[in-house]
Amino acid sequence: MQFDKKLFKEWVRNRLKRNYGKNLEEATRHDMFDAVSAALMDFIQTNWMATRKEYDSHTIRQVYYLSAEFLMGRALGNNCINLGVMDSIREVLEELDFNYMDIEEEEPDAGLGNGGLGRLAACFLDSLATLDYPGHGYGIRYQYGMFEQHIENGYQVEYPDNWLKHRDPWEVKRSDLAVTVRFGGTPVADKGTNGHTTYRIENAEEITATPYDMPIVGFDTRTVNRLRLWEASSENGFDLQLFNDMHYLRAVERQNNAENISRVLYPNDSGPSGKALRLKQQYFFTSASLQDLVHKFKRDHGTNFEDFPVYNVVQLNDTHPVVAIPEMMRLLMDENGLGWDAAWDVVTRTFAYTNHTLLAEALERWPIDIFEGLLPRVYQILEEINRRFLAELREKFPGDWQRQSRMSIIADGMINMAWLAIVGCFSVNGVAALHTELLKNVELADWSALYPAKFNNKTNGVTQRRWLLSANPRLSAFITGKIGSGWEKDLSRLRELERFADDDAVLDEFLEIKHQNKIDLAKYLKDTQNIFIDPDSIFDVQIKRLHEYKRQLLNVLHIMYLYNRILAESDYNPVPRTFIFGAKAASGYRRAKSIIKLINTIADRINNDHRVRGRLRVIFVENYRVTIAEKLFPASDVSEQISTAGKEASGTGNMKFMLNGAVTIGTLDGANIEIVEEAGEENAVIFGLTAQEIQAIEAEHSYNPHDHIQANPALKTVLNQLIDGTYGTESSGLFRELYDSLVYGVDGQRPDVYYILADFDAYVAAHEKICALYADRRAWARTALLNVARSGKFSSDRTIEEYVRDIWKLEKVRVPQAQEKQS
């Protein structure tokens, strides 16, 4: 469909009039954002409807990505780019006396995710639509997304993220498709029609799930897929009797309780919260999504459920939606009369599971009493799944009782959701090569011995449409200027940039782009946080959730070390460096919050010490999120990927840095390994213990952090400064705990669980290498350019093609030109 500027302006005017009773002169920037987005939605609808029609008119298989998180960020810019109307929209706004950038800034992030796992889901949706695959997301329409982070006196303080304060122009409410989800109550047996016993649940709490659909617009294609997010409410929530009797709170209690299910995203990205409400969220969106699929299946195919997996494949994003397995059994048996074997056959051909973590403490386990209380019938089914599974296990490993107790889905009063996933799914994948190997050989070794064929690797990727084309227009134009367009849908084409790696004029041009991006970032930080940074310094950036295993603390200790050197050595004149952090800590994660306070304390000291004379600055960017990430990656020189080897499943920020020409300083962990493999060892700086070395140390129980402290007086000094009052007394308790955790171990933990002290010297040396490389501007430019040229593997398009080939088995569907006129 052609974009008609004149007609579009008309739509915008109509929207302003209809929604706000305003004309162009009266419209605020926000009115304008809303009107332009609404008009774009009209434009998108034509292809959205055509896509749905095309999918409905064929018997095709579609994939459904079930995820508790979709970290979408803003939609306006992304949709303009994918629709190919960015230039036109800029012109339209200019002609109406508005500025596109101002309008864009009006949109709140859809921050419905914590970090990597949620953003991966968003990148996958972009790739599915762009590659013309019928694939859709199912999740929760949280009323409040990831909390807003304020830094007050150096501490993180959380505020609610009221992203729906104004209406969301990108969603369409589908009340006609609402379903009911039941909690609690008592299962009651009925004699079913086919001789199977079925169960009804009496006296359950009934929650209404209402879907809101968002369009997922493919790049340079007519395909528009769907993200369907469920909102919880209560049908008969408001009790007028109680209200009339002046019991105002109780009158809305039922309604509030129902709405609480989709109220807020849990902000912890590891270490299960164990909260009943979290389990309610999981079952709520999972059950609603499966009911939606079953309705559609019956509409299109009747009750031949053995064909369900022919048309539907469901990818479970970590264990959060894994209750889908017994819930699907319940829907097939109790609501559609199938017997156990027939139902189990359907289930085990439908679901596939992705694991995103190796941290044992992050594996999701639910106490039986919570689970059974909320989902009594699902729990019965779960027990039966486990009973049959244990029987199978006994047959394969007779007499091996230990194995049976290790692998039992239900054990020690807990339900192990990962075990349930592995039993019920036909595919289990990790998210980077090392991660999958560690799953197969260590963490899930029992399971890969039992089901070797289920295990596979799918190295993560990121969408170059958002993370390069949209976020970094200068570099994008440079690339297209050198190798032409086409890389937007085939990132492997970036290899063609390699031939410019020794072309001085091109390298200068490339450096100048980074410099301009750094000036933009400096300006943005000045305007928003009143922070000054020097674009001529190295921008060394660590942006990710705050976690001990990600080792922001190692970065801070190194900065303290540099500061000490600057003060102690008058002739020490390193390349000026700006260390930039962005990170949210889970609200209940005390030690992570202490590290944020430490970063801010160190930053405050260094940035205000005139003796440093521009050689060192430390910045903590407040409220890190997708929209800030889009400004940081293009302006970064150095990418900090310094997790303890074996702990970071993959990482995806590492890929966004590479794509934008930053050089990695990192450990051999997660996808870093594949990044260096592609970039070439000489184009990244790798340091530290390997996962294997750490495994060996742990097997021998031979780690002693004191060896490292004694061997390095500078390290000893830095550690002492945590507790000797150098950084004030106000937070001395918090910093003392960090010190203790490194040196002695706290709460029965080993000291320095994440090998920060063991890797410190190597990290210092790695930074010296970075500085030497950076000082040689030509060598740096070459390395950075080669990183861009060799980042092709890390497109989520490649990842999605692998999921399609190995797991989903989808065909592409080309949406035909709609006949409808633009009006």
For 81, the token pair is 């780019």
Residue with the two structure tokens 């999701």: 364
182, 280, 330, 356: residue in contact with ligand 26Q (rule CB under 6 A): 356
- HSE of 397 in the Cβ direction (CA atoms, 13 Å)? 15
> Applying CB under 6 A, which part among 194-202, 209-217, 272-280, 572-580 lies near ligand 26Q?
272-280
Should residue 117 be labelled a site residue for ligand 26Q when binding is judged by CB under 6 A?
yes
Tell whether residue 321 is a contact of ligand 26Q (CB under 6 A). no
The residue from 601, 641, 650, 667 that contacts ligand 26Q (CB under 6 A) is 650
In 10 A of CB 523, how many CB atoms?
12
214 Cβ contact list (under 8 Å, min separation 6): 72, 75, 170, 171, 172, 226, 227, 229
Q: Which of 39, 89, 92, 120 binds ligand 26Q (CB under 6 A)?
A: 120
Pairwise CA distance, residues 799 & 458, whole Å? 6
CB 782 within 8 A of CB 20: no
Integer Cα distance of 540 and 683 in angstroms: 16
> Which one of the spans 27-35, 211-219, 262-270, 625-633 is the region binding ligand 26Q (CB under 6 A)?
262-270
Q: Do residues 763 and 688 lie in contact, with contact meaning Cβ atoms separated by under 8 Å?
A: yes
Q: Which residues contact 586 (CB under 8 A, 6 or more apart)?
A: 267, 268, 269, 270, 271, 545, 592
Name the residue nearer to ligand 26Q (CB basis): 271 or 473.
271
Asked if residue 364 binds ligand 26Q (CB under 6 A), the reply is yes
- Looking at 104-112, 180-188, 265-273, 697-705, which segment touches ligand 26Q (CB under 6 A)? 265-273
Give the total of residues touching ligand 26Q (CB under 6 A): 23
Shortest gap between Cβ of 427 and ligand 26Q (angstroms)?
15
Is residue 796 a contact residue for ligand 26Q (CB under 6 A)?
A: no
Question: Tokens for 277?
Answer: 């409400």
Instruction: Give the interface segment with ligand 26Q, choosing from 136-144, 221-229, 500-508, 642-650 (CB under 6 A).
Output: 642-650
Cβ at position 787, least distance to ligand 26Q in Å: 19
Given candidates 670, 688, 705, 792, which one binds ligand 26Q under the rule CB under 6 A? 670
Q: Does 462 bind ligand 26Q (CB under 6 A)?
A: no
If 0-12 CB within 10 Å is exposed, 13-18 middle and 19+ buried, where does residue 805 land? exposed
d(CA 400, CA 390): 11
Instruction: Fill in the DSSP letter of residue 540.
Output: E
Q: Alpha helix (H) ranges present in 530-625?
A: 552-568, 590-607
Stretch near ligand 26Q under the rule CB under 6 A, chosen from 97-105, 340-348, 645-653, 691-699: 645-653
By CB under 6 A, name the one of 215, 272, 634, 646 that touches ligand 26Q. 272
Among the residues of 701-755, which ranges form H helices? Answer: 705-711, 713-721, 732-743
CB of 353 to ligand 26Q, least distance (A): 13
Identity of the residue, 211 or 670, whose beta carbon is nearer to ligand 26Q in the bound complex: 670
For the CB of residue 271, give the shortest distance to ligand 26Q in the complex, in Å: 8
Q: Which of 199, 203, 197 is nearest to 182 (CA)?
A: 203
Task: Read off the tokens for 150.
Answer: 């304020």
At which residue do the structure tokens 């019956």 appear? 298
**Is residue 114 a contact residue for ligand 26Q (CB under 6 A)?**
yes
Query: Whose Cβ is closer to ligand 26Q: residue 586's or residue 773's?
Result: 586
**Selected binder of ligand 26Q within 268, 578, 594, 601 (CB under 6 A):** 268
Among 652, 667, 741, 787, binds ligand 26Q (CB under 6 A): 652
- What is the Cα–Cα distance from 186 to 379, expressed in whole angstroms? 12
Closest CB 416 distance from ligand 26Q, rounded Å = 13
Task: Tell whether residue 116 is a contact of ligand 26Q (CB under 6 A).
Answer: yes
Q: Is 436 one of the binding residues for ligand 26Q (CB under 6 A)?
A: no
Return the range that interacts with ligand 26Q (CB under 6 A); candidates 1-9, 75-83, 266-274, 777-785: 266-274
Do strands 62-66 and 135-140 pair parallel, antiparallel, or not at all (unpaired)? Answer: parallel
Range in contact with ligand 26Q (rule: CB under 6 A) among 77-85, 520-528, 644-652, 721-729: 644-652
Q: Retrieve residue 47's tokens.
A: 């292809």
Question: Quick check: 738 and 560 in contact, CB under 8 A?
Answer: no
Query: Applying CB under 6 A, which of residues 161, 269, 292, 548 lies at the interface with ligand 26Q?
Result: 269
Asked if 688 is part of the footprint of ligand 26Q (rule: CB under 6 A), the reply reads no
Q: How far is the CB of 284 from ligand 26Q (least distance, A)?
A: 14
SS3 call for 726: coil
Q: Which of 270, 552, 578, 791 binds ligand 26Q (CB under 6 A)?
A: 270
- Give burial (CB, 10 Å; 0-12/13-18/19+) of 151: middle
Q: Find the part of the chain contacting ligand 26Q (CB under 6 A) among 92-100, 114-122, 155-163, 738-746.
A: 114-122
Q: CB-wise, 273 or 726, nearer to ligand 26Q?
A: 273
The sign of the dihedral angle between the CA atoms of 293, 295, 298, 303 is positive
- Three-state helix/strand/coil letters over 41-83: HHHHHHHHHHHHHHHHCCCCCEEEEECCCEEEECCHHHHHHHH
Residues labelled as active-site residues: 356, 544-545, 550, 652, 656
Looking at residues 396 to 425 of the shown chain, list those that interact with ligand 26Q (rule: CB under 6 A): none
Q: Is 148 in the site for ligand 26Q (CB under 6 A)?
A: no
Residue among 333 and 541 whose Cβ is closer to ligand 26Q: 541
CB of 115 to ligand 26Q, least distance (A): 4
By rule CB under 6 A, what string of x and - marks binding of each residue 273-302 to ligand 26Q?
x----x------------------------
How far are the Cα atoms of 360, 375, 460 from residue 276, in angstroms, in the given order? 21, 11, 31
Cα(351)–Cα(623) distance, integer angstroms: 36
Residue placing its CB nearer to ligand 26Q in the complex, 537 or 555 = 555
Pull the structure tokens for residue 69.
């998180």
Length in residues, the chain: 823
Cα–Cα dist 122/127, whole Å? 9
CB-closest chain residue to ligand 26Q: 116
Instruction: Name the site residues for ligand 26Q (rule: CB under 6 A).
Output: 114-117, 120, 266, 268-270, 272-273, 278, 356-357, 364, 431, 460, 648-652, 670
